[in-house]
């Protein structure tokens, strides 16, 4: 089984789902905790039936769902089928899926010699270094953001830490508009539609990232 590209996933027209960091994500808006628990139970039953298990995060008025195929390290047809089953479960429960409010955070450390500092950050954050890619640290429990290391120059002053915020492509423009209205600036759109660089009023930078043009 092979992974799907971002374009192939977009062509599936999965309403309420977005593709972020190698996985499908949705937020199921529930009216109360009991409804969310019932939805989780129903998803669990289907997951056992098909032997494909999503990550679920149950909150008071929503359930977050993450779908990926660990054996191929990405989204497969198996995940698309499961996404459709979950959408049907939500419809039966009278609740809706949405992805406009869903985003994922990575932390990036720009360093001229990242192999020298990577072990330190793995130790203090309790993160593990995967075999591939070699420039990342990941939380085995999936609770903390991934930290990745980007090679940079030595010139001072220079950027060190910056967050990467992964969003659905349709949410880039609203987030940029909101950031500009809040006093920020658009530093560069040269990497668009893969990423945009913004800065707060003090010059601290952040990247808004999407799946586009990464396959």
**Sign (positive or negative) of CA dihedral 152, 158, 164, 168:** negative
* Mean of pLDDT values over 24-32: 96
Read off φ and ψ for residue 181, nearest 5 degrees.
-65, -25
Q: What percent of the chain lies above the pLDDT cut of 70?
A: 100
Is residue 206 predicted with pLDDT exceeding 90?
yes
Domains of the chain: 6-98 (3.30.1360.20), 103-209 (3.10.180.10)
Q: Residue 132's pLDDT is what?
A: 84
- The larger pLDDT score, comparing residue 145 to residue 72, is at 145
Average pLDDT value for residue range 70-92: 95
Beta bridge partners of 163: 107
Dihedral class, residue 10 (left if φ above 0, else alpha if ψ from -120 to 50, else beta): alpha
Q: Is 121 exposed, middle or buried (0-12, 13-18, 19+ CB in 10 A)?
A: middle
Residue 1 has pLDDT above 90, yes or no: no
Q: Which residue has the higher pLDDT, 131 or 64?
A: 64
CA atoms of 56 and 41, how far apart (whole Å): 11
Instruction: Quick: pLDDT tens for 123-132.
Output: 999 999 998 8
Exposed, middle or buried by CB within 10 Å (0-12, 13-18, 19+), for 167?
buried
Average pLDDT, integer, range 180-207: 96
Q: Max CA-CA distance within the chain?
A: 58
């Amino acid at each position: 089984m092979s992974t799907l590209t971002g374009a192939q996933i977009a062509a599936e027209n999965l309403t309420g789902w977005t593709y972020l960091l190698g996985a499908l994500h949705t937020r199921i808006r529930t009216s109360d905790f009991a409804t969310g628990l019932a939805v989780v139970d129903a998803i669990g039953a289907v997951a056992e039936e098909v032997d494909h298990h999503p990550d679920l995060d149950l909150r008071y008025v929503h359930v977050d769902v993450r779908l990926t195929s660990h054996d191929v390290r990405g989204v497969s047809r198996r995940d698309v089928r499961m996404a459709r089953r979950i959408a049907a479960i939500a419809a039966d429960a009278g609740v809706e899926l949405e992805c406009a409010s869903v985003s994922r955070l990575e932390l990036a450390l720009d360093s001229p010699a990242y192999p020298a500092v990577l072990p330190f950050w793995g130790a203090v954050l309790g993160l593990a270094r995967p075999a591939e890619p070699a420039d990342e640290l990941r939380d085995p429990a999936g609770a903390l953001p991934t930290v990745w290391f980007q090679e940079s120059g030595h010139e001072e002053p220079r950027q060190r830490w910056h967050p990467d915020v992964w969003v659905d492509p349709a949410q880039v423009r609203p987030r940029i508009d909101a950031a500009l209205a809040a006093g920020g600036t658009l530093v560069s759109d040269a990497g668009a539609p893969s990423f945009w660089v913004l800065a707060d009023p003090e010059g601290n930078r952040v990247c808004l990232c999407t799946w586009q043009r990464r396959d």
